Copies of this chain bind each other. A is one copy, B any other.
């Protein structure tokens, strides 16, 4: 059903598939599912076929098609940042991440739906596992497009929980790299202290392959069996707000990882991290009121109500309160290094539960905001589901700038869950 990036890359390497064949596979997925899911703001299969030259098979991304969240500037496609304010907008340049995809030999297949300016204002995309449910947001289309087998790789972005949450709700691997490892240049800004690039693919090894190829970094985890990690189960102060099945899923992941050889401990977060969780909203909203100043002051009436009210409220945050939030952030980032100690990764929920019913909300980022603020690599590990078949995502959080180790641990957990 899903298109595994790593599997496709290997079949291209062996000559069993050509880059053009993979475009045809995407075309098939799109023909089957796009009309009911609505994952794309725009796509161009003919252009992808034209650009799918056989020589791309030698490039790091092997000519694989990539969906780009419509929060990134593209010259080839209209870029509306999910907002009516920018309907039909044609940027003059490609975002840095789009160029990294091109330089790595990927094909830009199309633009995936973003919520308005990557906020909590919901968009039209539906969850491929049940159309009556949200796919999560703000990277709604990227998560759904991968989940529905329409594209093997998609780019997203996370300011609160916009990569890990939709990945969890759609049952795909989502990877938020360490803060500023990948460039946000040419991505519509919501919060310059928090906006982070993200990558979606079918499984953990797929997302690691894609990120390695795009970043030209040693991030692949498919070469050998991952070593058993030291895992800290972190329930967080929000634990009681997670559904019973999510609580069981995280505990199951911990016990399966332990059975597979991991050392599993439990870790409670000091009070400073509670403050940091609060600081996230302050920092994010103070910056969003400035980053989106033009849109708010000149096009307020065309914005969705959830976003508009958030920005109007943000106008009251003073520089002093913001500076306090930044100081707490700096202290928490430093404390996080000590907190991790010898721990390889933290295991914690990716979201409060499965995807909520309806399209009026993209769900809560309460299990993501702290980690976005702290900046370490986060991976959503797919593989579990509730009795109705809706995915439950397990979040693996690594140490800052130790992304490959975090991805290896996530692969270990993914395999343990599959046993």
Instruction: State how many residues of chain A have any CB contact under 8 Å with chain B.
Output: 33
| Smallest CB separation, A186 vs chain B (Å) | 8
Q: Which 3 A-B pairs have the closest CB atoms?
A: A99-B293, A93-B294, A94-B294
Contact call A293/B96, Cβ cutoff below 8 A: yes
Contact call A294/B189, Cβ cutoff below 8 A: no
The answer, yes or no, to whether A47 is at the interface (CB within 8 Å) is no
Write out the residue numbers on chain B whose beta carbons fall within 8 Å of the beta carbon of A189: 96, 185-186
Contact call B185/A99, Cβ cutoff below 8 A: no
Write out the residue numbers on chain B whose beta carbons fall within 8 Å of the beta carbon of A86: 92
If the complex has contacts A86-B92, A294-B94, A319-B217, are A287 and B193 also in contact, measured as CB distance less than 8 A? Answer: no
Q: Which single member of B89, B102, B103, B192 contacts A185 (CB below 8 Å)?
A: B192
Write out the residue numbers on chain B whose beta carbons fall within 8 Å of the beta carbon of A98: 294
Residues of A within 8 A of B (CB): 75, 86, 89, 92-94, 96, 98-100, 102-103, 180, 183-186, 189, 192-193, 215-217, 287, 290-291, 293-295, 297, 319, 323, 401
Q: Which single member of B94, B184, B193, B295 contacts A93 (CB below 8 Å)?
A: B295
If the complex has contacts A192-B185, A217-B319, are A297 and B103 also in contact, measured as CB distance less than 8 A? Answer: yes
If the complex has contacts A92-B86, A185-B192, A323-B401, are A290 and B100 also in contact, measured as CB distance less than 8 A? Answer: yes
Q: List 20 A-B contacts (CB under 8 A).
A: A93-B294, A93-B295, A96-B189, A96-B290, A96-B293, A99-B293, A99-B294, A100-B290, A102-B297, A103-B297, A180-B192, A180-B193, A184-B192, A185-B290, A185-B291, A186-B189, A215-B319, A216-B319, A217-B319, A323-B401
If the complex has contacts A319-B216, A319-B217, are A291 and B192 also in contact, measured as CB distance less than 8 A? Answer: no
Which of A102, A180, A215, A290 is the most central at the interface, judged by chain B CB atoms within 10 Å of its CB? Answer: A290
Contact call A293/B94, Cβ cutoff below 8 A: yes
Nearest opposing residue in chain B for A299, CB measure? B93
- Cα of A287 to Cα of B92 in the assembled complex, Å: 20
Write out the residue numbers on chain B whose beta carbons fall within 8 Å of the beta carbon of A100: 290, 293
| Smallest CB separation, A383 vs chain B (Å) | 30
Contact call A96/B291, Cβ cutoff below 8 A: yes
If the complex has contacts A216-B319, A297-B102, are A290 and B93 also in contact, measured as CB distance less than 8 A? Answer: no
| Smallest CB separation, A87 vs chain B (Å) | 11
Apart from the given pairs A96-B290, A99-B294, 7 other A-B contacts in the complex at a CB distance below 8 Å: A75-B294, A94-B294, A96-B293, A102-B297, A103-B293, A180-B193, A215-B319
Nearest opposing residue in chain B for A319, CB measure? B217
- Cα of A75 to Cα of B184 in the assembled complex, Å: 22
Nearest opposing residue in chain B for A195, CB measure? B185
Write out the residue numbers on chain B whose beta carbons fall within 8 Å of the beta carbon of A215: 319
Write out the residue numbers on chain B whose beta carbons fall within 8 Å of the beta carbon of A75: 294
- Cα of A319 to Cα of B211 in the assembled complex, Å: 13
| Smallest CB separation, A358 vs chain B (Å) | 32
Nearest opposing residue in chain B for A215, CB measure? B319
Write out the residue numbers on chain B whose beta carbons fall within 8 Å of the beta carbon of A180: 192-193
Write out the residue numbers on chain B whose beta carbons fall within 8 Å of the beta carbon of A216: 319
| Smallest CB separation, A208 vs chain B (Å) | 15
- Cα of A47 to Cα of B75 in the assembled complex, Å: 32
Write out the residue numbers on chain B whose beta carbons fall within 8 Å of the beta carbon of A323: 401
Q: Which single member of B89, B99, B183 contacts A192 (CB below 8 Å)?
A: B183
Write out the residue numbers on chain B whose beta carbons fall within 8 Å of the beta carbon of A293: 94, 96, 99-100, 103
| Smallest CB separation, A322 vs chain B (Å) | 10
If the complex has contacts A216-B319, A297-B102, are A290 and B401 also in contact, measured as CB distance less than 8 A? Answer: no
- Cα of A32 to Cα of B121 in the assembled complex, Å: 52
- Cα of A86 to Cα of B75 in the assembled complex, Å: 14
- Cα of A293 to Cα of B94 in the assembled complex, Å: 8
Write out the residue numbers on chain B whose beta carbons fall within 8 Å of the beta carbon of A184: 192
Write out the residue numbers on chain B whose beta carbons fall within 8 Å of the beta carbon of A295: 93
- Cα of A319 to Cα of B214 in the assembled complex, Å: 12
